[in-house]
Amino acid sequence: MNDSSSDADAVRLALIQGMSPARRLAMATGWSSAMRELVRSNLKTQFAGKSEAFLQRLFAERWLGCELAVKVYGPSEKYG
């Protein structure tokens, strides 16, 4: 689903291509941070009352994927 016209997409792409690499990296970093916070906020709402350790582990599964989360944090059963 696209909520903007192809003309608007072309303008947006031209603006991004005209930015310095440092500016593009800063934008991507900002978007990534915003997405992490949205995921964390959603988990806190969805699992209200759960421990911070549980929420962090669940976030790791969502952000890193189950396989990598297990490698980093161990089995999820430890987190209740």
Quick: pLDDT tens for 15-72. Answer: 999 999 999 999 999 999 999 999 999 999 999 999 999 999 999 999 999 999 999 9
Q: Residue 49 in 3-state DSSP?
A: coil
What is the sign, positive or negative, of the torsion defined by CA atoms of 58, 61, 66, 68? negative
Predicted confidence band at 1 (pLDDT cuts at 50, 70, 90)? Answer: low
Tell me, rounded to whole angstroms, the distance of Cα 43 from its chain centroid.
12
pTM: 0.72
Residue 44 and residue 50: Cα distance in Å, rounded? 8
Residue 50 and residue 4: Cα distance in Å, rounded? 39
Q: Is pLDDT at 13 greater than 80 in this prediction?
A: yes
Predicted confidence band at 78 (pLDDT cuts at 50, 70, 90)? Answer: confident
Sequence ranges of the domains in the chain: 6-79
Name the one residue in this structure whose structure tokens are 């976030």.
59
Residue 63 and residue 9: Cα distance in Å, rounded? 28
